[in-house]
Homo-oligomer: A and B are copies of this chain.
Amino acid sequence: MVGIRRLADHLNLSIGTVSRALNGRPDVNADTRARVLKAADELNYVANQSGRSLRSGTTGAIGFMVQTGPQFNLQGESFFTSVFDGVQSVLNRHHLDLIVLLCAADEDPDQYLRRMVLRGFVDGMIISHTLRVDPRIAFLASRQLPFVTLGRSETDAGQSWIDIDFEGLGRLAVERFVAQGHREIAVALPLDDINLGHLLHRAVAAAMAAHGVQLIPKHVLRSQPGDLGGFEVAGRLAALTPRPTAIVLSDESLAIGLYRGLKAQGIVPGRDIAVIGRDSLAVRFLSPTLTRYGQSLRDLGIELGEALLRSMPAYQAFYPEGPVHKVWPLEFTLGESDGFTP
């Protein structure tokens, strides 16, 4: 292991000068800097991260916490890789690296976040899957660690957030349904207190009410995300009498299981029921094609990365100050699944 001391000895310089040269400080001669960089490359010296962090208090890494496990199986995935890609492209411009912290399904997310933050690996955090009331936000704020959330929350610590337009999804889907004559409209929501479920629920109810239709409590179908949840929803949907004639889905991959479940019941989307869902790679291959709302996840990731940098003092020279609150616009894709009219 070659440290800065050996590098300095090799160059007949002091470690202070070597450090300054490597870190681009102004008070070092251009020639010596070149010499130092050359020698560092030859001896392939790399600064020890622990030493550096200990002294400077920064690590150069940003954490992105996601939840995983059986119930989040297919769901978050093509989703997250696109978002990661966008975030990374921003961070890399500033020599920051993204590390993904995945909380296992059997672990408490609050505890997990706490542990990872206190470990001191990261200079900033991005958290997703925000709950309507989310203790993680208060914790991060209390630690004064820069962070942003993917998803709004009613717990507000003044942080930036970027979110998907679940309210728009609910409103637009309902308006399509109502215009086609539907009155028995259902909505599939997550089980837990994740905020997007609340937003979608409220938006659907409001849009229906605005058209003089009522959202029946029995038509609010809560389930696990992913294909299994969708399958289960299909069963419960088929058992309802009268059966709803239309349904809007909260989760990207609910549609897959829903189609499978409906098929088992002899119900064909677009012929026997109208379905509007969210876009993802997997649902693009459903037949009949799904009518859906999506968004550019890579761009969303870029926005997320920039919002984080805004909140980090070291980078506020590059980005305008102040928190970002942005609801990402929806992109509509017409499919065959909402062709059915009652």
Contacts and interface: CB of A to CB of B under 8 A. Distances in A.
Contact of A121 (B77, B105, B121, B281): B121
Contacts of A72: 81
Copies of this protein, total: 2
Contacts of A259: 285
A82 to B, nearest CB: 8
A85 interface: yes
Nearest to A61: B121
A120 B256 contact: no
A128 to B, nearest CB: 14
Interface stretch (A96-104, A196-204, A213-221): A96-104
A49 B281 contact: no
B97 A99 contact: no
Given A54-B54, A97-B119, A68 B84 contact: yes
Contacts of A24: none
Nearest to A77: B77
A23 to B, nearest CB: 16
A49 B256 CA distance: 44
A69 interface: yes
Interface string A79-94: 0011011001100100
A106 to B, nearest CB: 8
